[in-house]
Amino acid sequence: MGANVIKRNELPDDAADWTKVDVSFQRLDDDSEISCPASRNRIFEYVRIESADTNKAASDRLAFLRTARIGKTKYWLWNYTESDGEMTYVFFRQNPDGSTVLGLSGPNGLSPEQYLLADYYDEIYWS
């Protein structure tokens, strides 16, 4: 883990209680969705499959937010606003071993940085 990572045992037990945790992460050198190993089309297709919108999904409601480096893990984060107005986060994670993960879930009141920290510690379990 890098020096910028809060240790898990220093955080509340439930990630839903992390709304008051002050956290920030270094952005990648290329802080853009273009630097993501997955194309915008791939990210949007994932949104179509995983969001509540399915056939109502619209790519203009997918907005890139930021990149982040947490330890040796790289993140690309978007938000997607569903047709009913509900906002979700969509992330692409590249692990130090090169494996990747795509995920989508509601923010549960967390800021983008708090949400990425929750994913880093595998604490994203709400819908």
Task: Return the number of other C-beta atoms located less than 10 Å from residue 84's C-beta.
Answer: 8
For residue 78, is pLDDT > 70? yes
What pLDDT shows up at residue 39? Answer: 97
Selection from 49, 53, 55, 114 nearest residue 82 by Cα: 53
Average confidence (pLDDT) over 7-29: 84
Summarised one tens digit per residue, pLDDT across range 37-58 is: 999 999 999 999 999 888 899 9
Average confidence (pLDDT) over 25-36: 97
Domain ranges of the chain: 26-120
In eight-state DSSP terms, residue 21 is -
Q: Are 87 and 107 in contact (CB under 8 A)?
A: yes
Selection from 62, 114, 67 nearest residue 90 by Cα: 62
SS (H, E, C) 91-121: EEEECCCCCEEEEEECCCCCCHHHHHHHHHC
Task: Return the number of other C-beta atoms located less than 10 Å from residue 85's C-beta.
Answer: 7
What pLDDT shows up at residue 2? Answer: 43
